[in-house]
Amino acid sequence: MESALEEYSEYFRAGRICIYHRNPSKLAGIFKPYGGGHIGVDIYYPDLSLKGDIEENRRTTKLRTVIDLACNNNIYAAKDLIEELWGLIIE
29 part of a folded domain: yes
Count of domains forming the chain: 1
38 pLDDT band (50/70/90 cuts)? confident
d(CA 36, CA 47): 28
4-34: per-residue pLDDT in tens? 999 999 888 988 899 999 999 999 888 877 7
Contact 31, 12 (CB under 8 A): no
91 part of a folded domain: no
CA atoms within 13 Å, Cβ hemisphere of 75: 8
Q: What domain range is 46 assigned to?
A: 2-86
36 part of a folded domain: yes
pTM of the full predicted structure? 0.84
